Amino acid sequence: MDHRPWFDHYEKNTPKTIEIPELTLPQILDNTAKKWPNQRATIFEGAIISYKQLASYVDRLAGFLVSKGLKTGDRVAIQMPNLPQTIIAYYGVLRAGGVAVMVNPMYVAREIEHQLNDAEVKFAIVMDAYWVNLIKPIRDKLMLEHIVVTALADFLPFPKNLLFPLVGKKTGLVVSVEREANVYQLKEIIENRALKPPAMPSDPDATANLQYSGGTTGVSKAAVLSHRNLVSNAYQVQSWFTGMEEGKEVELAALPFFHVFGLTVCMNFGILAGAAQVLVPNPRDIKGMVNLIKKYRPTIFPAVPAMFNAINNFPGIEKIDISSIKGCFSGSAPLPIEVLERFETLTGGIITEGFGMTESSPVTHANPLHGLRKPGSIGIPLPNTDAKIVDLEEGTKEMPIGEDGELILYGPQVMSGYWNREDETELTIRNGWLYSGDIAQMDEDGYFYIVGRKKDMIIAGGYNIYPREIDEILYEHPKVLEAAAIGVPHETRGETVKVFIVVQPGETLTAEEVIEFCRERLAPYKVPRLVEFRDELPKSTIGKVLRRVLRDEELAKSK
> Of 42-50, 187-195, 326-334, 423-431, which segment contacts other proteins by CB under 8 A?
423-431
Taking residues 192 to 231 in sequence order and writing x for each that binds other proteins by CB under 8 A, - otherwise, the string is ------------------------xxx-------------
Q: How many other CB atoms are there within 10 angstroms of residue 264's CB atom?
A: 32
Q: Which stretch binds other proteins (CB under 8 A): 49-57, 71-79, 111-119, 449-457?
A: 449-457
Considering only 144-152, 167-175, 251-259, 534-542, which stretch makes contact with other proteins by CB under 8 A? 534-542
In angstroms, give the least distance from the CB of 216 to other proteins: 5
**Cα–Cα distance for residue pair 84/48, rounded to 1 Å:** 9
Q: Does 555 bind other proteins (CB under 8 A)?
A: no
Range in contact with other proteins (rule: CB under 8 A) among 77-85, 274-282, 333-341, 451-459: 451-459
- Distance, in Å, from the CA atom of 396 to the CA atom of 229, rounded to the nearest integer, reads 25
Q: Is residue 475 close enough to count as binding other proteins by CB under 8 A?
A: yes
Other CB atoms within a 10 A radius of the CB of residue 508 amount to 9
Q: How far is the CB of 406 from other proteins (least distance, A)?
A: 8
> Which range in 3-11, 61-69, 203-211, 424-432 contacts other proteins by CB under 8 A?
424-432
Provide the minimum distance between the beta carbon of 518 and other proteins in the complex, in angstroms, as a whole number: 15
Residue 543 interacts with other proteins (CB under 8 A): yes or no: yes
SS3 state at 470:
helix
Cα–Cα distance between 224 and 420 in angstroms, integer? 10
Q: What is the DSSP letter of 218?
A: S
Pick from 246, 285, 386, 456 the residue near other proteins by CB under 8 A: 456
Q: How far is the CB of 453 from other proteins (least distance, A)?
A: 7
Tell me which residues in 25-54 interact with other proteins (CB under 8 A). none
Cis peptide bond upstream of 159, omega within 30: yes
Nearer to other proteins, 180 or 394 (CB): 394
The sign of the CA dihedral 288, 290, 295, 299 is: positive
For 89, residues 6+ apart whose C-beta sits below 8 A from its C-beta are: 61, 78, 80, 125, 148, 150, 186
User: Helix, strand or coil for residue 52?
Assistant: helix
> 66 by DSSP, 3-state: which?
helix
Nearer to other proteins, 443 or 456 (CB): 456
Cα 469 to Cα 68, 167, 453, distances in angstroms: 36, 37, 18
* 103/486 with CB nearer other proteins: 486
For the window 427-446, what string marks contact with other proteins as x by the rule CB under 8 A?
x-----------x-------
Q: Is there binding between residue 176 and other proteins (CB under 8 A)?
A: no
To the nearest whole angstrom, how small is the minimum distance from the Cβ of residue 553 to other proteins? 13
Q: Pick from 515, 467, 459, 530: which is nearest to 492 by CA?
A: 459
Residue 539 beta carbon to other proteins: minimum distance, rounded to whole angstroms: 8
Closer of 181 and 542 to other proteins (Cβ): 542
Chain positions 372 to 401 lying near other proteins, rule: CB under 8 A, are 392-393
The nearest distance, CB 520 to other proteins, in angstroms, is: 18
* Helix, strand, coil percent values for the chain (each to nearest 5): 35, 25, 40
Q: Does 545 bind other proteins (CB under 8 A)?
A: yes
Closest approach of other proteins to the CB of residue 493, in Å:
19
**Near other proteins in 478-507, by CB under 8 A:** 481-484, 486
**CA atoms of 213 and 524, how far apart (whole Å):** 15
**Is residue 535 close enough to count as binding other proteins by CB under 8 A?**
no
Smallest separation (angstroms) from other proteins to the CB of 397: 13
Given 373, 468, 493, 521, the residue binding other proteins (CB under 8 A) = 468
What DSSP state is assigned to residue 523?
-
Residue by residue, DSSP assigns 88-115 as HHHHHHHHTT-EEEE--TT--HHHHHHH
The single residue among 457, 488, 503, 514 that binds other proteins, judged by CB under 8 A, is 457
Total residues at interface with other proteins (CB under 8 A):
37
DSSP state at residue 539: B
Q: Backbone dihedral region of 336: left (phi > 0), alpha (psi from -120 to 50 degrees) or beta?
A: beta
Binding segment for other proteins among 89-97, 287-295, 353-361, 471-479 (CB under 8 A)? 471-479
Q: Which of 472, 511, 530, 538 binds other proteins (CB under 8 A)?
A: 472
Q: On the CB side of 306, how many CA atoms lie within 13 Å of its CA?
A: 19
Min. distance of Cβ 501 from other proteins in angstroms?
Answer: 12
What contacts 147, CB < 8 A, 6 or more positions away?
123, 124, 125, 126, 131, 135, 182, 183, 184
Q: Which residues does 423 contact at the CB level (< 8 Å), separation at least 6?
A: none
Could you say whether residue 547 binds other proteins (CB under 8 A)? yes
State the CB neighbour count (10 A cutoff) for residue 320.
15
CA nearest neighbour of 240 among 102, 118, 381: 381
The rounded distance, in Å, linking the Cα atoms of 198 and 51 is 19
CB of 427 to other proteins, least distance (A): 6
Residue from the set 13, 508, 540, 558 that interacts with other proteins by CB under 8 A: 540
400/543 with CB nearer other proteins: 543
Residues making contact with other proteins (CB under 8 A): 216-218, 392-393, 423-424, 426-427, 439, 452-457, 468, 471-472, 475-476, 481-484, 486, 537, 540-548, 551
